[in-house]
Structure 1
Amino acid sequence: MSNLAQWRVTRFDVWINPVFDESMKQEQGVTVEVAPVTGDDDAAWAALQRAHFYQITAAKDELPAQFHARASLLERCPQLLCVSSTGAGYDTVDVEACTHAGVAVVSQIGGNAPAVAEMAIGLMLAVSRRIVESDRKLRRERGFSRESVMGHDIGGKVLGIVGIGHAGTRTAALARAFGMRILAVDPLLSAEEIRARGAEPATLEEMLTQADIVSLHCPRDASTLNLFNAERFAAMRPGAIFISTARGGVHDEMALAEALRSGHLAGAGLDVWHPEPPPLDHPLLALDNVVATFHTAGVSHEGRHNVASMAAQQIIAMLRGERPARLVNPQVWDRFKARLREASQC
């Protein structure tokens, strides 16, 4: 990094593990500026317009839409060289607009995969063994039998994984320890690669008819939006369980509620919603066979530390001219390096 340059990293005052700021402040010539997410838009815009790197939250409902990394923001922030997501996803970033503007986009994919996988397995256990139902009942009733909250083991069952990337692969590894048979659907991977990641390749239709539990680990994009609709839920095995630690909008919440109310599906474990958090009167929250969490699958102390540290290290590597491992738009790399050199001479 040029000693002449003063690099500015801007983030909003939403929670991030302190390792991010600590790592950045150890780098000579780097300043971290924390902008207010609410209450002072002028100060927030001033900080963004000074930024070379924008460390952006990946939670779309946590950040006002005006501060999403869209074309309008990029036009107002011409010094911006890179947008770095705080998580594996980047729902708050328009990658195409960033690429057009010569702005690199990096994510922290894989950093919280162990946490997400543990949560997915936890939701499977909670729903299948009716753990939350038993807890609620024990707190408010007496005179019921243990058999009234009797569930099923997950051992020996068929698990269908939709999207066997970092989190999906870790989930498959944990599921194998329970003796589950793993089927996986991932249009981005060959059958050989799916097998290498510990699953049997299958079509979505094959999976739906065979899986006792279906767990979503795919990104939200044009190809997956509303992927699980009424037709897909109807195609699932009677008595199956639906789990999602992916993104809100990949499944149709109202269609899922109906599949559960009708008894076709036995239960659901949901970490993601559209919007987040869901309204208190959401139909899914009224069902005892739904275990609901607030997009916390990747939000463990370890997971948050990992992604914050990874984000800092990727920014530091880029300032040294090193290509980051998790560059979302690789086609922009040469232009990014040219803009970085130009900025270092200012």
Structure 2
Amino acid sequence: MCVSAGGAGYDTIDVDACTKAGIPVVNQAGANAHSVAEHTFALLLAVIKRVVESDRKLWTESGFKREDLMGDEIHGCTIGLVGIGEIGTRTAKIAVGFGLKVLAYDPNVSAEGIRARGAEPVNLDALLKQSDFVSLHCPLNAQNRHMIGAEQFKAMKPGSVFISTARGGIHDEVALYKALSSGRLRGAGLDVWEVEPPPHEAPLLSLSNVVATFHTAGVSHGGRRNVARSSAEQILMMIDGVRPPHLLNPEVWESFLKRREQILSVSTMF
């Protein structure tokens, strides 16, 4: 028996309980990383270029000028990545193509490792203060719930943009609404929510400088195929007694192999 997450995130799985029961848990880290990284820039560009605002006005209003919807360039700006795993690394590579300077904060990766992945290592406070765009790429856990709250939004550069394709709950939605509605931040691109889908009356959805999607960053046709393939391959590896590459609780592996051998020995008797 094993548990296989349907993506990189595994906050819906009680890994501790599985570990106590001797059940291996795998995720599909990297399988939909290209899709999520691409979506990060879809949100960022939609906010900076005011794509959604323009689209809505063209459908519903008349008499406005192009200058009323003037956006900006991202070339030469700085993007700060909170988390530089598989998705963050791909995001960094795309960022370089747009001519962005890339900063990253990740307590689980060494400074040398962060540089090898295409970013300059900084602490979280420095990242918030120096970045024109802050993008979340870390998993949700008990330690980082509301890690980005009122204090962190206040520390961000005035006029900066906040992006999250990570998990709802890592940032405080009430604090983000206040930072956006006060004009402290220029805008936000949000793919993840504390309640999914967010209710129509969610305050953030009332703001014209918010571009919202329904946790679809990794739910592309290519991303889904890659996740399914990754999950199937890892399950087959475990059936064959081969340790999978994305085992989240390696401490159960030896006991899993023993249990596998017992099952196989019984099956050969029939």
TM range (shorter): over 0.9
- Report the RMSD for the aligned CA atoms in angstroms: 0.7
- Gaps spanning 5+ residues in structure 2: where? none
Query: Where do residues 15-30 of structure 1 align in structure 2 (5 Å cutoff)?
Result: none
User: Which of 197, 200, 204 is matched with 1:277 structurally?
Assistant: 197
What is the alpha-carbon distance in structure 2 between the residues aligned to residue 149 and residue 339 of structure 1?
Answer: 63
**How far off is 1:152 after superposition?**
1.0
Distance in 1, matches of 2:136 and 2:200, equals 24
TM-score computed with the length of structure 1 as normaliser:
0.76
Give per-residue Cα distances to partners, 1:73-114, cap 9 Å, x unaligned.
Answer: xxxxxxxx2111111111221111100000000111100000
Task: Report how many aligned residue pairs link the two structures.
Answer: 266
Question: Which residue, out of 172, 175, 183, partners 1:255?
Answer: 175
1:305 match: 225
2:19 maps to which residue? Answer: 99
Which residue of structure 2 lines up, in the alignment, with residue 78 of structure 1?
none
Aligned to 2:88: 168
Q: 1:321 aligns with which of 241, 255, 260?
A: 241
Match of 2:186 in 1: 266
Opposite residue 123 of structure 2, the aligned amino acid is T
Corresponding position of 2:33: 113
- CA drift of 1:254 comes to 0.8
Map 1:124-203 onto structure 2 (within 5 A).
Answer: 124-203=44-123
- Report the CA distance between 1:339 and its aligned residue: 1.4
> What is the CA deviation profile of residues 237-294 of structure 1, one whole-angstrom value per residue up to 9, with x for unaligned ones?
0000000000000000011001000000000000000111111100000101000000
Aligned equivalent of 1:235: 155
CA distance in 2, matches of 1:338, 1:174: 44
Structure number with bigger Rg: 1
Which structure is higher in RCO with an 8 Å CA cutoff and minimum separation 6?
2
Distance across 2 between alignment mates of 1:144 and 1:152:
18
Partner of 2:127: 207
1:223 Cα deviation from its structure 2 partner: 2.2
Deviation >6 Å, runs of 4+: none
SS of residue in 2 equivalent to 1:265: coil
Identity over aligned pairs, percent: 59
TM-score by length of 2: 0.97
Mapped to 1, the partners of 2:63 and 2:23 lie a distance apart of: 63
3-state SS of paired residue (2:13): coil
| Structure 1 position 342, deviation (Å) | 1.9
Q: How much does 1:222 deviate?
A: 1.9
Unaligned runs of 5+ in 1: 1-80
1:156 & 1:122 partners in 2: Cα distance? 18
